[in-house]
Amino acid sequence: MPTASRPAPRLSAAHKRVIQVNATDPRWDDFVVRAPGATVYHHSGWLTALQHESRQPLVRFAYEEPDGTLSGILPLMVTRGLPLRLGGASAAGRLSSLPRTPVAGPVAASQAVRSALIETAIDHASSAGLRLQLKQAPGALDDPAPDMQASPWRPSYFKELPDDPDKLRFGNSRNHSRIMWAVRKAQREGLEVRPAATETDLRNWYRLYLDVNRWRGLPSRPYRLFRAAWEHLSPGGFLRLLLVHQWRAGRDVLLAGSMLLMLGDTAFYAFNGRLRDALPLRPNELLQWHAMRDAAAASHQWYDFGEVEEGNSGLAAFKAKWDTQTRTLIRYHAPPVPGDSTGYRGTGVQGWPGRVALRAWHHVPLGVTALAGDWIYRYL
């Protein structure tokens, strides 16, 4: 039986079918797991994890058919926005689908359903004095609402997967051979990949995640996000944490790990952590090779390496070497943002002051970096 739902404030017959569903309504995930275009970021497990992270309420709009089934969904959450106008207008307070998430816009069975969801969301944001932001892959919203502005965001790197893991290749023979040499080197060094089995594994990996972000000067997501995702996504097979171990001096040492989120046709390489001194052993190459083979074996069609911000040429080169395609992610805003504010402006200190600050940050205790990241992500 469908759970009770609360109609959104619309008057026309079509818009009266846009309702708000609660977090326990089974129709939401029933729709997500079968709808073309839905991703793991639409799944209630990810939505629950986001709520644990931000401690903000989440709005779940859905389009309800006369028989009670759902034919469209749109999750939304308020983002506080950066203070002091940092990051530009698009980084200000907004109603987003979804904050701290690469893609999670409306998923609908038809354009009419999608339009009803978007227009309801625009009204909801306007009544709260907020800008609506929808995050989409290219082509997913070919016909948005008339007052929505489409703005390019960042390139994201995708690898098309074969139906047979043994057919996985990485471009021309020279590039493929280089990658396979790195994989075999890791194997010769005794590196082994195995999935995390307990929350202790998750905690150990989280320390690596904190350390790599400390080294890069990036804020880290709080542990409660990963614990909630682990609890709500891994039982259904929507989350895997692959870990690289090596036997060193009589003990088992965790060298690296990657968290993968998957649903439908796409597996997302979402989060990574590793020991800096382990890089010559090629754990990341071994991880990616295993992850893509696993994704292909599970019949996923795409492996999403994620976005790269402007100027990060090293990360872009790492993702490009796997014979990936690039697509520019799109951000839709209503009302439109100023022309010079369609993407976040850099908020960090540039030049030598930034380099000095980064060197000092490398020595900050991991626990302090975790608290700092938690505070920063309250605004993003």
pLDDT tens digits for range 334-345: 998 876 444 544
- Provide mean pLDDT across the span 229-234: 98
Q: Phi/psi of residue 135, each to 5°? A: -110, 120
Given a cut of 90, whether residue 360 has pLDDT beyond it is no
- Amino acid of residue 156: S
61, with CB counted inside 10 A (0-12, 13-18, 19+), is: buried
Output the DSSP codes for 336-348.
Answer: PPPGGGSSPPP-S
pLDDT at position 3: 43
251, with CB counted inside 10 A (0-12, 13-18, 19+), is: exposed
What region, left, alpha or beta, does residue 290 occupy, with left being phi > 0 and alpha being psi -120 to 50 degrees? Answer: alpha
- Provide mean pLDDT across the span 134-153: 76
Given a cut of 50, whether residue 2 has pLDDT beyond it is no
H/E element, 327: strand 325-334
Between 200 and 314, the higher pLDDT residue: 200
pLDDT at position 347: 43
pLDDT tens digits for range 306-330: 999 888 888 999 999 999 999 999 8
pLDDT at position 349: 44
Given a cut of 70, whether residue 9 has pLDDT beyond it is no
H/E element, 318: helix 313-320
pLDDT at position 4: 43
pLDDT at position 42: 97
SS3 260: strand
Print burial letters for 83-94: b (CB count within 10 Å at least 16), e (below 16).
eeeebbbbbbbb
Nearest residue to 204 (alpha-carbon basis) of 278, 251, 273, 250: 273
Given a cut of 90, whether residue 206 has pLDDT beyond it is yes
pLDDT at position 348: 45
pLDDT at position 86: 57
Query: CA dist 224 to 78, 136, 220, 249, Å?
Result: 19, 26, 12, 33
Given a cut of 80, whether residue 169 has pLDDT beyond it is yes
The pair of three-digit structure tokens given for residue 181, joined into one six-digit string: 């040499």
SS3 314: helix
Output the DSSP codes for 54-70.
Answer: H---EEEEEEEPTTS-E
Tell me the HSE value of 342 on the side-chain side, using a 13 A CA sphere. Answer: 14
pLDDT at position 268: 97
Confidence bin at 238 (pLDDT 50/70/90): very high
- Provide mean pLDDT across the span 280-291: 96
Nearest residue to 334 (alpha-carbon basis) of 144, 159, 179: 144
Between 154 and 202, the higher pLDDT residue: 202
Given a cut of 80, whether residue 143 has pLDDT beyond it is no
Q: What percentage of the chain carries pLDDT values higher than 70?
A: 86
Confidence bin at 77 (pLDDT 50/70/90): very high
Q: Determine contact, residues 150/328, Cβ cutoff 8 Å.
A: no
Span of 72-76, 79-83, 94-98, 311-315 with lowest mean pLDDT: 79-83
State the pairing for strand pair 149-160/239-248.
Answer: unpaired
Q: Which residues contact 379 (CB under 8 A, 6 or more apart)?
A: 79, 80, 81, 82, 83
What's 15's DSSP letter? G
Average pLDDT score, the chain = 88
pLDDT at position 249: 85
Q: Phi/psi of residue 216, each to 5°? A: -85, -10
Given a cut of 50, whether residue 258 has pLDDT beyond it is yes
Question: Within 234-278, where are the H helices?
Answer: none
pLDDT at position 90: 60
- Provide mean pLDDT across the span 184-201: 97
pLDDT tens digits for range 294-305: 999 999 999 999
- Provide mean pLDDT across the span 159-183: 96
